[in-house]
Amino acid sequence: MARAMELAREAAKAGEVPVGAVVVDPETGEIVGEGYNRPVGTHDPSAHAEIIAIRAAAQKLGNYRLTGLDLHVTLEPCAMCAGAISFARIGRLVFAAADIKGGAVMSGPRFFEQPTCHWRPEWRQDALHEAEAADLLRDFFRTRRG
């Protein structure tokens, strides 16, 4: 999660909502894909941190199925990203800050609990990084509204 937090700070410096994500092989600890939010800079509404990290991992591994890998992200995934996580067959999802308004894992639609969801990763919230991630987001939006 430390690398995901670094990536979230990079996103903030680029004027993007500060969210970072890494796909990790839990057996080796190797990061096989990473990304941060880039929808503004890329003019791509799907360029969320999770999507970018999943795409990078799939390209590196030569497989669109990332079964057994972990995804660490600084913010609870939205419905679009939860769908991508399911289609990629991510084994475990760990996120830091909850997203009451836009989240779709433990908030909102609870995507992985829906009968139409065909793959459900294990998931948990990372309490150790929750405050840091939430503070980064709050500070970012406070300066935007400023």
Q: Which residues are catalytic?
A: 50
Residue 64 to residue 89: CA distance in whole angstroms: 9
Tell me the CA distances in angstroms from 34 to 37, 112, 121, one per residue in order.
11, 22, 19
User: Is 81 within any annotated ligand binding site?
Assistant: yes
Q: Tell whether residue 48 is among the known ligand binding residues.
A: yes
Query: Binding site annotation covers 117?
Result: no
Q: Which residues are annotated as a binding site for Zn(2+)?
A: 48, 78, 81
